Amino acid sequence: MRLLDRIVLGEALRQTAFFALVFLGLILVAAATPLLKQGAPPLAVLAFLPRQAALFALLALPLAMVTAILATLGRMREDGELVALRAAGIAAWRVALSTLPLAIALALFLALAVHWWLPPLAGELLAGRQELVSQAVAAQVERRRPILQERNGMLAAHAVEGELLHGVFGVYRPDEGGLSVIYAPRARWVMDSGDEDEPPALALELSEAIALLRDAEGRVATAQIPVLSTRLPRARVHWQDKADAMSSGELLRRLRTATDETPRARRQLRSYERAWHTRLMLPLSAFAFWGFACGLGLAMGRGNRLFAACIGVVTVVGALFPALVLAREVGEQLHIHAGIWVWPGPLAVGALGAWLLWRQR
């Protein structure tokens, strides 16, 4: 039996390493594309990607494990090895048990990552993303392109020098009519904390700005504004980004003291709940994904790697989508506890996997 364990586990480990590299590469390309489209320098993006790779591994490794187990058991099923083992008196679940060390190792890695490595990495990424946005704006200024350009207005600068922009000029024309024009000899990057119902965002602080305003009826007014902050919508920082950058101890302390008395406080509380439950869920989800992959591989597995990859992506992304996306984009606006979004996916996958394995007993 030890020989069987070594052979099956060895093949699963090799497959996991291969698919981990493939999935991690695809995720990094998907992450770099929007930054390059925004105008960030390619060399700066390449320097930023290695720091992102450590975080993206939290998604790439479960994907790789599920795909590897499906491909390994699928190949054994198609080649008739499972039938031969059953004929020799070895139950199918015993073959699946050979890959359990892979799930245990993944669970331990995820536990260490989310509680010790994730917070400092998330903080570095938060600062690095803002730096890339400012570099993208600087590149647009050098190419004589607007910093912001929308249907009703634009914001541009004449030159850039480090963190300072010179000759900042903006125009805005509302749908109801009128015109707003503003000019500032210089501006610098700041972090705008936002109003009660707004998240923080990277902003330009305009110094000694001169504004000309004309309303829909043709009346004109001028103003000189010593300091004016202009937010960049694409540089938005979610509340959840800050929660992910907190240590587990700090996160627990915030959870105990947070309230939901105002919309802003409620969003912060939801973000703390989501971050904490996600840190608990990810290590445990490794066993849910392992059970599902083994059960499905024994029941109807195929040796085709592309088929295994598709099943793996659908399973892992479908199970984690509510926790990683819906809880961030929708859950912060609701009064529902964030754990409702985090746990159902992995629990459903684990239950289905347990049923499939039970059928192979």
Q: How many other C-beta atoms lie within 10 A of the C-beta of residue 262?
A: 11
Q: What is the dihedral of CA 101, 107, 319, 125, to 10 degrees?
A: -140
Q: Please report how the helices 42-78 and 2-37 are oriented relative to each other, as an axis angle in degrees rounded to 10.
A: 150
Q: What is the DSSP letter of 303?
A: S
According to the model, what pLDDT value does residue 246 have?
A: 81
**Domain definitions of the chain by residue range:** 2-133+242-359, 143-236
C-alpha–C-alpha distance, residues 170 and 183, integer Å: 6
C-alpha–C-alpha distance, residues 154 and 193, integer Å: 22
C-alpha–C-alpha distance, residues 292 and 356, integer Å: 7
C-alpha–C-alpha distance, residues 130 and 133, integer Å: 5
According to the model, what pLDDT value does residue 238 have?
A: 45
* Side-chain half-sphere exposure of 46, counting CA atoms within 13 A: 3
Beta strand 148-150 pairing with 159-161: unpaired
pLDDT in tens, the chain (361 residues): 577 778 888 889 999 999 999 999 888 888 778 767 666 667 767 777 777 777 788 889 999 999 999 999 888 888 888 778 777 778 777 888 899 999 999 999 999 988 888 777 766 665 556 665 666 666 666 667 777 777 788 888 878 776 678 888 888 888 777 888 888 888 887 766 655 445 556 677 888 888 888 887 778 888 888 888 776 655 444 444 577 778 888 888 888 887 777 777 777 888 888 888 889 999 999 999 999 999 888 887 676 777 788 888 888 888 888 887 777 767 666 677 878 888 999 999 999 999 988 887 6
According to the model, what pLDDT value does residue 27 have?
A: 86
Q: What is the dihedral of CA 274, 277, 283, 286, to 10 degrees?
A: -70
According to the model, what pLDDT value does residue 235 have?
A: 46
